[in-house]
Amino acid sequence: MYKSQRELYLDYIKLVALFFVAWAHFVSVGTFAPSVPYVLSMPENISERFSDALIYSLPIIPQTQHSLWKLESFLYNGIEIQLGMVGVVLFFFITGFLCTDSQKKYNVGEVDNVLKLNLFTHRLLNFWPTVFFTLIISSFVLVILFKINLNFLFFSNFVFTATFLNVFIPSLDFLHIQNYTPIVFWGGVNWFLNVLVFFFFISTYLFSRYSVKGVLICFLFLYFLLLLPKIAWPNQFTNKFAYYAPFCGIILTGSFARLTEQLKFNLSKLILSLLIFSLMLGLFKLRDYLNNSFDTYSNLSTYLFSFVIVVFFKLLDTYKKKWLLIFYPLVSSLAKLFLPFYLLHVIVGLPLLSLIYNYLKIPTLSIIISICLVLVISSIVYKFSNLIENSYSYKRFTSFLS
């Protein structure tokens, strides 16, 4: 039996998002980036245990060896679109779209603090096993590839990351420890998970009932967070929350789309939709103005391109559903792997690409094999996570916490 019509086309969008982030790192980063901290960098930072340390420096595959990079170069130079950013936008949008469902039961009656805590805890525990397994794998790769000591700071960072405390507390460098560099367990993609956890927190406690009014209030709160370190209280705490704010705006836009999905299209809905979109885009524009950011999240073309993808699959689902059903079993299986794949594809995938390319010397085949291997590892993580989530002990544990 297939899922509902809404879930069907969203799985296709998840798969597109997975493909885009894979392209961004395996092709674009692997071709252009000079270094990715704690993942791949210049040879002097690589463990001496490897006899041929040069293969772990970036770029992995010189652009003269393949032409795949020309696609994103064309999109970026032509319409200022980076595929990895579109992939993240799509997944954040879908997250906002779907998380309204988990909050439906709070739309009636009184919502007390116990119910709010139950909802927040339930959301975190749903993906905690995946986070834990990917963290173990990432830590193992860091210890093998890099000269990282298994000391108090390492294990403290591990605990902070595994318990999501790092979402709300600055990294351990706030202790002003000499010669200490914070551990980046997921090679620069940890921010993605932090945004999700932070959004679940504010959406649970700021507006426990999803409504258009609640979405607007939350947008105002995000603007407050973004401005707070600039106008009143500049420190590591407020800077961290200000960083999350624009990305939470994308998730909120997805929540708004879910709330208004069944409403008839009219002038009021159009005006409200444009207002929500403007508020989301305004968060990134204000962030760029305040922090001199240079990525393409603030570009209108990023969201128009994402919107076209969403509408395309929605129309297929509405008018040509049988086309989507043909590939749905495979698409559904791969779409489930987005989170473990995202958390592993940089810190595990790029070293794999480096090793495979060093052996094969065939760029396209090396990229395909590397992505497939990370998908296999992600599938194993997903299966183990499911075993944990469905176990009697874990269910008892989650019931006790929530």
Please give the residue that has the higher pLDDT: either 49 or 165. Answer: 165
Residue 174: its pLDDT value, please? 45
Each domain of the chain, given as residue ranges in start order, spans 5-41+53-401
Question: Sign of the CA dihedral 21, 24, 26, 27?
Answer: positive
Q: Taking the CB of residue 317, how many other CB atoms lie within 10 A of it?
A: 19
Q: Give 184's strand partners.
A: none
Distance of CA 328 to the CA centre of its chain: 23
Tens digits of residue pLDDT in 308-365:
999 999 999 989 999 999 999 999 999 999 999 999 999 899 989 999 998 999 999 9
Tens digits of residue pLDDT in 253-272:
999 998 888 778 888 889 99
Residue 391: its pLDDT value, please? 81
Contact 97/255 with Cβ under 8 angstroms? yes
Does the pLDDT of residue 179 top 50, yes or no? no
Q: Which of 129-143, 158-172, 265-279 is predicted least confidently?
A: 158-172
Task: Please provide residue 40's backbone torsions phi and psi, each rounded to the nearest 5 degrees.
Answer: -135, 140
Amino acid, res. 387 = L
On whether the pTM is more than 0.85, the answer is: yes
The confidence band for 173, taking pLDDT boundaries of 50, 70 and 90, is very low
Residue 7: its pLDDT value, please? 75
Tens digits of residue pLDDT in 267-306:
888 999 999 999 999 999 999 999 887 788 999 999 999 9
Taking residues 125-138, report their average pLDDT: 91
**Sequence-ordered list of residues with C-beta below 8 angstroms from that of 3, at least 6 positions apart, any chain:** 11, 332
Contact 81/242 with Cβ under 8 angstroms? no
Distance (Å, whole) CA 269 – CA 272: 5
Look over the chain and give the mean of its residue pLDDT values, rounded to a whole number. 84
